[in-house]
Structure 1
Amino acid sequence: MSPLTTTIVMSSLATGTIITMSSHHWMMAWIGLEMNTLAIIPTISKQHHPRATEAATKYFLTQAAASAMILFSSSINAWSTGTWDITQMTNPTASTLLTSALAMKLGLVPMHFWLPEVLQGSTMKTALIISTWQKLAPMALICLSINNLSTTILLTMGALSAMLGGWAGLNQTQTRKIMAYSSIAHLGWMITIATTLTNITIAALLMYLFMTTSMFYALISSKSKTIKDTTTSWATSPTLMIMTMLILLSLGGLPPLSGFMPKWLILEELITQKLLPMATAIALSTLLSLFFYLRLTYTTTLTASPNTTPAKHKWRFKPLTPSPLLSTTIPLTTMALPLTPLITN
């Protein structure tokens, strides 16, 4: 795309999210979501590759269906209550429809099938945008309307997402699909706690954004699209690979890294609310996610490729300079645990 087109598309992407996050009227929220969707479609399909076109089509159909459900649910609510206010979604049918629509927007189980396929068909940078920025608007709507959403459905979807995100990620060799299932698992944790404390949800979302951005930029810098690619990444930049190992362990939620903070706070709150089976289920599901994070850690930092490897040796080519963004996100991804008291207060 030309610089002018890229500027227009990215501006529309940002504006759509901001409109949705700052609106109180359902129609304005819907318009923001539509702007967001229409701006990301050319970004996904700009490769002019059949896989990219397929990903763009899947994304468009899913998001259009979810937006239509949001408009339908808000119309039902306005018909019965006479208000279009986002915080006044009191009609039970409308609330259930809205919960399903926002779950589809985010990619929660059982409406998660589009996310791994779309990420796999996109470029790394587009996959990063879909995994991070595109989650902001639906999460803002969930936080605004959480008092009227179905708690049972949200808790069920959260637990299933946390478990399936770990379970389905075990079988993947593509790093983008691994990050997609990682995203589903993290969103499951956020949705589980959204029913109780939205401030912990926002803290978990921010930490997820930092960790995912760091991980994607590390993969972009090392040109690692599959697990096999990571085995030869050490020679490109040993320092970056050590940082990648820490990012992966943080994604897994191991102390004393930052990723431990949201999981710790969420489990503590679930236990306080007497939701012990839920807390146990999602804590055990983390072990599944941790397995494929550790597998990536092993291939990235603990595997020295032999000289006869069939993979292309990356040190024969000019390596990419790591993004300046990494110098901001990596410290937040690995060393933000001492900030926990600020969040709990």
Structure 2
Amino acid sequence: MNPYVLTVLLFSLGLGTTLTFASSHWLLAWMGLEINTLAIIPLMAHQHHPRAVEATTKYFLTQATAAAMILFASTTNAWVSGQWDITQLTNPIACTIAITALALKIGLAPMHFWLPEVLQGITLTTGLILSTWQKLAPFALILQVAENAHPYLLTALAICSTLVGGWGGLNQTQLRKVLAYSSVAHLGWMILVAQMAPNMTLLALITYIVMTAAAFLTLEKVNSTKTITLASAWTKAPALTALACLILLSLGGLPPLTGFMPKWLILQEISNQGFPLTATVIALTALLSLYFYLRLTYAMTLTLAPYTINSSAPWRTEAKGPTMPLATVVMLATSLLPLTPSVLALLA
């Protein structure tokens, strides 16, 4: 892609997210979401591959549907209450429609069907943007709208997402689909406490972005998109392959890695609020996600490629791009747990 075009598209992504962050009016927030959508579509389709075009079309139709629902909800609320302010979404029907539309935008279950298919059809770099940056603007709106939402709606979306994210990833061999279902499961954890403790949702979102960025950049470095190719990843980057196991276990939420921090704090918050059954259910669903992370870890470290490579082995290839982002997110994804007291003091 032309560097000037790429620069314009990346600046448009930043503009759309910033506009949504800074807006208090529904129309400005909708405009920011639309700029975000239109900016990432050329990045998704620039391969000119039929699968990429199909994924782009699915993404566009889904996002357009969600944007229309957001406009309908905000207009309905303005008609009933006379308020266009985002935090004044007091009409129950309008609030439910808005939450459903935002859930469709980020891929919460049961509106998640587009996410695995779209991620499967695009490159790992674009998938990284779709899984991290594109979640920021809708989450900013969810945190503002959650105060007026029905708590049962958010809880149902959260439990459904953790269940679907766990079950859906069990039988996958495509790594991008595994990361898509991982995204669905993590989003469920975030939504669960959006009404009780928004700061915990923000912490979980930041931690998820760091861990997912580390996973996507690692897969791009070792050039793996299927489980079967993970077996030969150690020949390309031995040290990174060892660290990749820690990244996957961190995504699963195992101590003493970074991913344990948000899950621990969210479970503690839900128990303190008097919902022990909900805490038990989502803790059990985390085991489903942990299983397929362990399966990937096993494939990466304890197996060999099941076929004979006739060509020369890819042995410790030179880095083709900057490795500082990869090194930074790998370090953050594995070693932030000791900073939990400082994070709690910062969020308090």
Task: Assess same fold via TM > 0.5.
Answer: yes
Once residues 177 and 237 of structure 2 are traced to their aligned partners in structure 1, the CA distance between those partners, rounded to angstroms, is: 24
Whether the aligned pair in 2 keeps the contact of 1:261 and 1:340 (CA below 8 Å) is yes
Pairwise mapping of residues 110-125 of structure 1 onto structure 2 (< 5 A)? Answer: 110-125=110-125
Once residues 203 and 330 of structure 2 are traced to their aligned partners in structure 1, the CA distance between those partners, rounded to angstroms, is: 17
Q: Which residue of 2 aligns with 1:233?
A: 233
Question: Do the aligned partners of residues 104 and 222 (structure 1) sit closer, same or farther apart at CA in structure 2, a change above 3 Å counting?
Answer: same
Once residues 24 and 322 of structure 1 are traced to their aligned partners in structure 2, the CA distance between those partners, rounded to angstroms, is: 38
Once residues 307 and 226 of structure 2 are traced to their aligned partners in structure 1, the CA distance between those partners, rounded to angstroms, is: 19
Counterpart AA for 1:134 = Q
Query: Deviation at 1:334?
Result: 0.7
Q: Which residue of 1 aligns with 2:5?
A: 5
Counterpart AA for 1:14 = G
Q: Which residue of 1 aligns with 2:193?
A: 193
Whether the aligned pair in 2 keeps the contact of 1:211 and 1:333 (CA below 8 Å) is yes
Once residues 242 and 236 of structure 2 are traced to their aligned partners in structure 1, the CA distance between those partners, rounded to angstroms, is: 12
Alignment partner of 1:209 is 2:178:
no
Question: Do the aligned partners of residues 312 and 209 (structure 1) sit closer, same or farther apart at CA in structure 2, a change above 3 Å counting?
Answer: farther
Once residues 309 and 170 of structure 1 are traced to their aligned partners in structure 2, the CA distance between those partners, rounded to angstroms, is: 28
Alignment partner of 1:173 is 2:134:
no
Once residues 319 and 223 of structure 2 are traced to their aligned partners in structure 1, the CA distance between those partners, rounded to angstroms, is: 9
> Which has the larger displacement, 30-39 or 137-146?
137-146
Query: Deviation at 1:301?
Result: 1.7
Q: Which residue of 2 aligns with 1:88?
A: 88
Q: Which residue of 2 aligns with 1:35?
A: 35
Once residues 312 and 124 of structure 2 are traced to their aligned partners in structure 1, the CA distance between those partners, rounded to angstroms, is: 19
Once residues 3 and 343 of structure 1 are traced to their aligned partners in structure 2, the CA distance between those partners, rounded to angstroms, is: 38
Q: Which residue of 1 aligns with 2:60?
A: 60
Query: Deviation at 1:323?
Result: 2.2
Counterpart AA for 1:72 = F
1:124-182 deviation per Cα after TM superposition (whole angstroms, max 9, x unaligned): 10000000000000110011222112221111010110111010101100110000000
1:283-318 deviation per Cα after TM superposition (whole angstroms, max 9, x unaligned): 111111111101111111222347835898432865
Pairwise mapping of residues 1-345 of structure 1 onto structure 2 (< 5 A)? Answer: 1-305=1-305, 308=308, 313-315=313-315, 320=320, 323-345=323-345
Once residues 171 and 311 of structure 1 are traced to their aligned partners in structure 2, the CA distance between those partners, rounded to angstroms, is: 30
Once residues 202 and 311 of structure 2 are traced to their aligned partners in structure 1, the CA distance between those partners, rounded to angstroms, is: 41
Residue 235 of structure 2 aligns to a residue whose secondary structure is: coil
Whether the aligned pair in 2 keeps the contact of 1:193 and 1:270 (CA below 8 Å) is yes
1:21-42 deviation per Cα after TM superposition (whole angstroms, max 9, x unaligned): 1110001000000000011111
Question: Do the aligned partners of residues 137 and 311 (structure 1) sit closer, same or farther apart at CA in structure 2, a change above 3 Å counting?
Answer: farther
Once residues 343 and 140 of structure 1 are traced to their aligned partners in structure 2, the CA distance between those partners, rounded to angstroms, is: 20
> Which has the larger displacement, 273-282 or 100-109?
273-282
Residue 315 of structure 1 aligns to a residue whose secondary structure is: coil
Whether the aligned pair in 1 keeps the contact of 2:229 and 2:305 (CA below 8 Å) is no
Counterpart AA for 2:38 = L
Structure 2 residues without counterparts, runs of 5 or longer: none
Could you tell me the percent identity over the aligned residues? 54
Whether the aligned pair in 1 keeps the contact of 2:109 and 2:161 (CA below 8 Å) is yes
- Calculate the aligned-residue CA RMSD, in Å: 1.6
Whether the aligned pair in 2 keeps the contact of 1:221 and 1:323 (CA below 8 Å) is no
Where has structure 1 moved over 6 Å in runs of 4 or more? none
Once residues 277 and 167 of structure 2 are traced to their aligned partners in structure 1, the CA distance between those partners, rounded to angstroms, is: 18
Once residues 153 and 16 of structure 2 are traced to their aligned partners in structure 1, the CA distance between those partners, rounded to angstroms, is: 27
Residue 194 of structure 1 aligns to a residue whose secondary structure is: coil
Question: Do the aligned partners of residues 308 and 276 (structure 1) sit closer, same or farther apart at CA in structure 2, a change above 3 Å counting?
Answer: same
Structure 1 residues without counterparts, runs of 5 or longer: none
> Which has the larger displacement, 206-215 or 276-285?
276-285
| TM-score normalised per structure 2 | 0.96
Question: Do the aligned partners of residues 244 and 212 (structure 1) sit closer, same or farther apart at CA in structure 2, a change above 3 Å counting?
Answer: same
Query: Deviation at 1:342?
Result: 2.2
Counterpart AA for 1:118 = V
Once residues 224 and 306 of structure 1 are traced to their aligned partners in structure 2, the CA distance between those partners, rounded to angstroms, is: 15
| TM-score normalised per structure 1 | 0.97
Counterpart AA for 1:238 = P
Once residues 186 and 248 of structure 2 are traced to their aligned partners in structure 1, the CA distance between those partners, rounded to angstroms, is: 13
Question: Do the aligned partners of residues 308 and 96 (structure 1) sit closer, same or farther apart at CA in structure 2, a change above 3 Å counting?
Answer: same
Provide the aligned length of Structure 1 versus Structure 2.
Answer: 345
Whether the aligned pair in 2 keeps the contact of 1:99 and 1:150 (CA below 8 Å) is no
Counterpart AA for 1:141 = L
